[in-house]
Structure 1
Amino acid sequence: MGNGTTTVVGAGISGVACARVLAAAGVPVTVVDRGRRPGGRMGGRTLAGRPVDLGASYLTVSPGSPFEPVVADWVRRGLAGPWTDTFAVASPDGLERTTTGPLRYGTPGGLRSLVVDLARGLDVEQERTVTAVTAGPTVDTVPVGAVVLAMPDPQAARLLAPDALVARALDPGSWQPALAVALGWSARQWPADLHGAFVHDHPVLEWLADDGDRRGDGAPVLVAHTIAAFAVRHLDDPGAAGPEVAAAVRGLLGIAEEPAWTHVHRWSHARPTAPREAPFALEEGIGLCGDGWSAPSKVEAAWRSGDALGSALAAALS
């Protein structure tokens, strides 16, 4: 695969997990990302003086998973903590019942803080935009030892040269958008045990999270995630969707008062519709990883995908 530093493009949890394995194996590695901070779709914003998760809502871990000790370490150090195993189920008519599932973990400092923690000690270059990855491999015409694209397929497809063998593994049309809308009130106006709600058959909403509950500070903040069809109609002007989403949330939970503030975030490529069972793709020194691999799509899948690709690359490069 040649000599030189491995370049990981994308500082989400998958890219950072991949880079950690490479660095631990003594492989020179640099992570580059066009954003201002690590996190990817585990990112959020500071709103009304506190972090609010706008991407992934929580994380889970499968028993016996290699991700388990990573999460246990975060919990031990207070970066993450158990949140709930029970969510509500709602329809356009309101809350219907509750459902239980795996234990979900939340984070006092936002999910981004976990990616920042994983990135400590790595060579991470933020606000760098990569425009082309070609066989060789090269990154913007500069030869590298290997390159990893840790990002959704549509973004990887824009960077990869069509003749790159790994491009055959991409499915750019299989990703859906979503809008994440944070809503803040002066006081909590919903049940204390709401935690979150899966919403079915709704023209606007798909999921609703109690951000103060998952953060542990009790702040009167909800985050609503929209269905893909609604997001598609508002991709050009996402901010204009705020009032409609706020009205939908108020109707669902019976909240009479308008929110004191609203923030809309657009995720053009929020989630894959058909995540692959394979953990990653790797051809001629160019790798692909992320939550579109190691199905089903979730935070654990993204970490496992990056971790597995890092191990495969470390073995190949050594």
Structure 2
Amino acid sequence: MSVVVVGAGLAGVACAREVADAGIPVRVLDRGRAPGGRMASRCHDGRPIDTGAAYFTVRDPEFAEVVADWRTAGLARPWTSELAVLDHGERLRAPGPMRWAAPRGLCSLVAALAEGLPLELGHEVKRVTSGPTVDGEPADVVVLAMPDPQALRVLDPGLGAVALASGRPWRPVLAVAAEYAERTWAELPAAFVNDHPVLSLIADDGARRGDDAPVLVAHTVSDVARRFDEQPEEAVPLVVEAVGELLGITARPVWTHAHRWRFASPEQDRDVPFHLGADGIGLAGDGWGSSRIETAWRSGSLLGREVVRRLG
């Protein structure tokens, strides 16, 4: 028996973890240089900056056990139960569940879960066909743990999974990290930005990391991400200006970085946590449910258990 998981984000790693722990051989392939997917962290001067997800929440009891292990290892910490809402010049409160952060970057959580798994990084998969096969190599099960549009790039058009992955729009986002010489803004864990032409969210990376570094990460609205899709760095002045206006920052940042997420989140949720066809091809990720880190873990874990059950 053999299982191939394409995608080393949280969903793919969680799936592979279930399969490997059941004693079934599994390979995890990813074109990137490190596991993490959209929980990736950008390092600057040795300090990680989360440019993907801003935080995560914990609702599922089983996910809570995983988070408890991360917390014990010093990888995750409770951050804040209240975010701000910036709405037409007003600052409102947005109480809610505890938001968790990762002192070493969200990518460290995926790396911890992947420990001991056979990761093949820098491995770009070209085609998944019936059999199933991955670039001509057969497997009993192939899992694509990635956004639908990325899965469609590698799935053979005749496969049943193509219909499931087709026709659902995804929102793009540009994430701009900016480091300043000093902290001059009022205390701000993170803020949702309502009805703004440029921004949808601002996160204080120093606050969530716990080191008070003067670093902010801003996420754009989809229209801005589409406009600067080919040249993300050209959006930086626009984003920096918008952040300055909202937070009263007059200084220019000393360092900036723009990261493009073409498929940040789907426009519609799904009501099933994963897909595993009779042809042995599975789909998982945070697009299988509401778009959250917890959703990605649950999707991958449940698919992994179904793979184990099917292979016996």
What is the aligned counterpart of 2:66 among 44, 66, 70?
A: 70
Deviations 1:45-84 (A, max 9, x none): 102431000001111110x532110011111221100000
CA contact 1:82–1:104 (8 Å) conserved in 2 = yes
Question: 2: distance between equivalents of 1:267 and 1:117?
Answer: 24
CA contact 2:57–2:98 (8 Å) conserved in 1 = yes
Q: Secondary structure at the match of 2:299?
A: helix
Question: 2: distance between equivalents of 1:261 and 1:304?
Answer: 36
Deviations 1:135-194 (A, max 9, x none): 1100001111110000000000111111111222113542111000001101101112x1
C-alpha RMSD over aligned residues: 1.0
Alignment of structure 1 residues 107-256 onto 2, 5 Å: 107-171=102-166, 173-192=168-187, 194-256=188-250
Deviations 1:231-250 (A, max 9, x none): 00000100110011000000
- What percent of counterpart residues are identical? 52
What is the aligned counterpart of 2:56 among 42, 59, 82?
A: 59
CA contact 2:168–2:267 (8 Å) conserved in 1 = no
TM-score under structure 1 length normalisation: 0.96
Q: Secondary structure at the match of 1:102?
A: strand
CA contact 2:40–2:107 (8 Å) conserved in 1 = yes
CA contact 1:95–1:253 (8 Å) conserved in 2 = no
Deviations 1:217-244 (A, max 9, x none): 0000000000111100000100110011
Write the letter of the residue equivalent to 1:43. Answer: A
1:80 and 2:76 correspond: yes
1:27 and 2:21 correspond: no
Write the letter of the residue equivalent to 1:19. Answer: A
Q: Secondary structure at the match of 1:154?
A: helix
Residue correspondences, number: 311
Question: 2: distance between equivalents of 1:281 and 1:169?
Answer: 9
Q: Secondary structure at the match of 1:239?
A: helix
Q: Secondary structure at the match of 2:305?
A: helix
Write the letter of the residue equivalent to 1:28. Answer: P
Deviations 1:79-122 (A, max 9, x none): 1000001111013x434211100101111100000000000010
Give the unaligned 5+ runs of structure 1: none
Q: Quote the residue 1:262 is aligned against.
A: 256
Write the letter of the residue equivalent to 2:192. Answer: F
Write the letter of the residue equivalent to 2:306. Answer: A
Write the letter of the residue equivalent to 1:133. Answer: V
Give the unaligned 5+ runs of structure 2: none
CA contact 2:125–2:135 (8 Å) conserved in 1 = yes
Question: 2: distance between equivalents of 1:95 and 1:226?
Answer: 19
CA contact 2:202–2:217 (8 Å) conserved in 1 = yes
TM-score under structure 2 length normalisation: 0.98
Question: 2: distance between equivalents of 1:10 and 1:141?
Answer: 18
Structure 1's 172 and 8: CA in aligned 2 closer, same or farther, altered over 3 A?
farther
- Divergent runs of 4+, >4 A: none
Q: Secondary structure at the match of 1:128?
A: coil
Write the letter of the residue equivalent to 1:5. Answer: S
Write the letter of the residue equivalent to 2:236. Answer: G
Question: 2: distance between equivalents of 1:20 and 1:272?
Answer: 25
CA contact 2:168–2:268 (8 Å) conserved in 1 = no
Question: 1: distance between equivalents of 2:138 and 2:121?
Answer: 20
1:277 and 2:271 correspond: yes
What is the aligned counterpart of 2:291 among 270, 291, 297?
A: 297
